[in-house]
Structures are given as C-alpha cells and as structure tokens.
Amino acid sequence: MENNLQLYKAEKVFTGSEWLSQHTVVVSHGKIVELLPSENISGKPVSSYHLLAPAFIDIQIYGAYGKLLAVYPEADSLHKLYTYCSEGGASHFQPTVATNAFKVFYKCIDAVRAYWEEGGKGCIGLHIEGPWINPIKKGAHTESFIHSPTPGEVKELLEYGKGVISMITLAPEVCSKEVMALIRSYNVIISAGHSNANYEVATAAFDDGISTATHLYNAMSPLQHRSPGMVGAIFNHPTVMASVVPDGFHVDFSAIQIAKKILKERLFVITDAVTETSEGENPHHLSGDKYESKGILSGSALTMAKSLRNLVNLAGIDLDEALRMVSTYPAQAMQKANTMGRIEKGYDANLVFLDELLEVKRLING
C-alpha cells in the first residue's frame, strides 16, 4: 500500500449506520479512502482497538480548565477547550457564550479568528446563546442584558462575526420575523431556547426555518395537557431537532427515554459544560457533578464520552443510537452531515477509539 496511508483496525466498527466486524479504516491526507475487511489489508495497521466510531461533536460548551470563554475571550481558552473535548472523544466543538455585553461577543469572535489563525483545530464556529431571549426563562443568564433585538444591532453583530458566528439561540416570541430572516441570510443556524413561546408560536417559528432547539426541557415552556408549550411543539414537529444534556441534573433519564421515543433521530447530545470561575457575569461553581451560578443550575460537568455512557447505562439507549446522538445527529444539526459524523469513503477522518467500557483510548482528527 502507499506510504502515506494510515491504517486503523478495530474489532468492531460503527459507521454511523451499521456495525462491521474486523474492519480497517484506510486514511490518506485526513480523508477516509477505504473501509475494508481487515483480512484484505496487506499493510500493518497503525493501531488496533476494540471499537472504532465517528468522533463526537459538541455544539454547546462554554469553557474548560478554569478558562470560561466569556471571561477569557482569547485563543488559549479555545486551545484548552479543544484539549478537553478531545479527551472526551470529540474532534469538533462549537464554543458558546451566554447572554452578555456585546463587547464580550466581539472579543469572543476575535478569539475564534485568532485560534483559527494559529492553526487551532476542531472549532466549527461560535454559538451565541442570548441575549435575545425571554427573561421569564432566563435560567442563569443575566437579566440586565436580555432584550428584544432591532434589525440594526443584529446586522452589526452578524457583519462583525461573518464567517465565525455559526449558531444563535434566541426566543422566537421576542424576535421579529425580519430579524430571524436576517440571521438566516448570513447562514447562521437559529436554535430556539430560553423561550416561553406557546405551542402555536413555537410551531410557526419551526415552520419558518428555526431548525433546532436548545437543551430540551430546560428553560422553555413545558408540555402540559392544556398548554403543550415549546416542548410539545418540538415533539410534534416533523423536522426540528433538539439538543439534550444527559447528566441526570438537567433532565431526568426517564424524560430522555420519553423524548427519544418521540423524536428518534431528531434528538442529539450537547454537554452544556462550563468550568469553575468566580469572574464575569455568570460565575460557575462545581456542586457535585454539576455547576451552579448564584444557586441556579448553570452548566454540566460532562464530556461527550461521559454523555455516551450515561445514555447507554442510565437512559437505556442502544449503543448504536447513542453513538449517533453524539456524532451523526450533531453533524446533521450543524448542516455538516456530508463531511463528518460518519465513517465512509470521502468523509473527514474524524475517528474515536473506545474500549469495552466506552472509555476513550484515542482520537484522530483529520
């Protein structure tokens, strides 16, 4: 075989759609060029593992190792995030900044650009969560920054963040159709969240092009039998996807089971992970296996690998579907399903190797 090929053998390979036994992934220049039975490979594998799967993708995470991006809007924070995500099996991540002053958003945009200029890997863009949300469902967000946007301020932010901002979480009931159309015109994905929208308003927003919802159940109008709310609208919509935080604190594992039965391939995982900080608008302090801000649940202490284990061991979700929830489906939510989230010829070589306990043994990123 050619000298520039890397061979990765595993007892079991999950491609994103099927299980294969004793197969080898052949990689060249960061791309998957073949997926073959190991008996057909003459070269010596670089590595051999128990389980090989598409690398995970975390599209909502705020900071790691004591450096919250909103507090330290600099490239080093993103390098630390990449290390944290990689250790948890994620080759790609979408750093997130919650409701804050606009000068913080601009600095975070600058940080992403600087990270990319330094050759930083894995960052797929910036997720801005708020401030165009409903104060009734603010959670741990700072209320003084929350407001309904004008088209002018939205355009100013989008222009500054062109090519960097990849997702905005907002409450559709506090944003005009003009504003939401403007955001989509910049190829920015809109996620509905921190919203008190009723069923009708939420459904109309999904019909108009909002394609995802942020942390299902949390900070949104609940499903009640006479008022189905945003949760009901998500459940009943044919296409909208929703993220969920599987730590047992944000959502009971039985509620994840219920959502999975209804949403099927529309439900995917985020860690919503923060890090210890006493500075900034949202100080986060570790309380057991979760973070709190001013006594309010403010983020998880998850990695994507821990999320996977929780789905399988505590939510009773089959391993193949749990693997899709941390890789294939987030890629779909980010409109990147043609390049990542699967092990197929022509896809980016983003691979995670796991042992029998679903612990990460190695990560390959392109």
* pLDDT for res 213: 98
Query: pLDDT at residue 282 above 80?
Result: no
Domain that holds residue 350: 5-54+344-365
Does residue 217 belong to any structural domain of this protein?
Answer: yes
Which one has a higher pLDDT value, 228 or 281? Answer: 228
- Asked whether residue 358 falls in the same domain as residue 302, the answer is no
Please say if 247 is a catalytic residue. no
Reduce the DSSP state of residue 61 to 3 states and report it: strand
What does the pLDDT look like over 7-48, one tens digit per residue?
A: 999 999 999 999 999 999 999 999 999 999 998 887 676 667
- Asked whether residue 22 falls in the same domain as residue 87, the answer is no
pLDDT band for position 279 (50/70/90)? confident
- Asked whether residue 64 falls in the same domain as residue 24, the answer is no
- Asked whether residue 243 falls in the same domain as residue 220, the answer is yes
Share of the chain above pLDDT 70, in %: 98
pLDDT band for position 181 (50/70/90)? very high
Does residue 86 belong to any structural domain of this protein?
Answer: yes
Mean residue pLDDT across the chain: 95
Q: What is the C-alpha separation between 116 and 136, in angstroms, rounded?
A: 37
- Asked whether residue 251 falls in the same domain as residue 120, the answer is yes
Query: pLDDT at residue 2 above 60?
Result: no
- Asked whether residue 37 falls in the same domain as residue 60, the answer is no
Q: Which residues of 101-118 are buried (b: 16+ CB within 10 A; e: fewer)?
A: eeebbebbbbbbeebbee
Does residue 338 belong to any structural domain of this protein?
Answer: no
Reduce the DSSP state of residue 55 to 3 states and report it: coil
Residues 6+ away with beta carbon under 8 Å from 57: 90, 91, 92, 93, 124, 304, 326, 327, 330, 331, 334, 340, 341
Mean pLDDT to the nearest integer, 153-177? 98
Which tokens sit at 174?
Answer: 């506090």
What does the pLDDT look like over 103-133, one tens digit per residue?
A: 999 999 999 999 999 999 999 999 999 999 9
* pLDDT for res 79: 98
Half-sphere exposure of 40 (CA within 13 A, CB side): 10
Alpha helices in the chain (DSSP H): 75-87, 102-117, 151-160, 177-185, 199-207, 229-236, 253-263, 304-313, 319-326, 328-333
CATH assignment at residue 267? 3.20.20.140
Does residue 339 belong to any structural domain of this protein?
Answer: no
- Asked whether residue 351 falls in the same domain as residue 240, the answer is no
C-alpha closest to that of 327 among 6, 37, 90, 25: 90
Which tokens sit at 285?
Answer: 């302090």
Radius of gyration for the chain, computed over Cα atoms and rounded to the nearest angstrom: 20
Does residue 303 belong to any structural domain of this protein?
Answer: yes
Taking CA atoms, 216 is separated from 175, 255, 331, in Å, by: 20, 10, 18
* pLDDT for res 46: 64
Query: pLDDT at residue 281 above 80?
Result: no
Mean pLDDT to the nearest integer, 343-361? 97
CATH assignment at residue 9? 2.30.40.10
Could you tell me the end-to-end alpha-carbon distance of the chain, in angstroms, rounded to an integer?
20
Mean pLDDT to the nearest integer, 95-108? 97
Query: pLDDT at residue 327 above 90?
Result: yes
Q: What is the C-alpha separation between 208 and 205, in angstroms, rounded?
A: 5
- Supply the pTM of this predicted model: 0.96
- Asked whether residue 133 falls in the same domain as residue 265, the answer is yes
Catalytic one of 58, 247, 272, 348: 272
pLDDT band for position 55 (50/70/90)? very high
- Asked whether residue 95 falls in the same domain as residue 130, the answer is yes
Query: pLDDT at residue 249 above 80?
Result: yes
Residues 6+ away with beta carbon under 8 Å from 28: 2, 4, 5, 6
* pLDDT for res 334: 98
What does the pLDDT look like over 192-245, one tens digit per residue?
A: 999 999 999 999 999 999 999 999 999 999 999 999 999 999 999 999 999 999
- Asked whether residue 213 falls in the same domain as residue 83, the answer is yes
- Asked whether residue 264 falls in the same domain as residue 298, the answer is yes
- Asked whether residue 207 falls in the same domain as residue 268, the answer is yes
* pLDDT for res 276: 86
Does residue 240 belong to any structural domain of this protein?
Answer: yes
Does residue 317 belong to any structural domain of this protein?
Answer: yes
* pLDDT for res 43: 66
* pLDDT for res 311: 98
Does residue 199 belong to any structural domain of this protein?
Answer: yes
Number of compact structural domains in the chain: 2
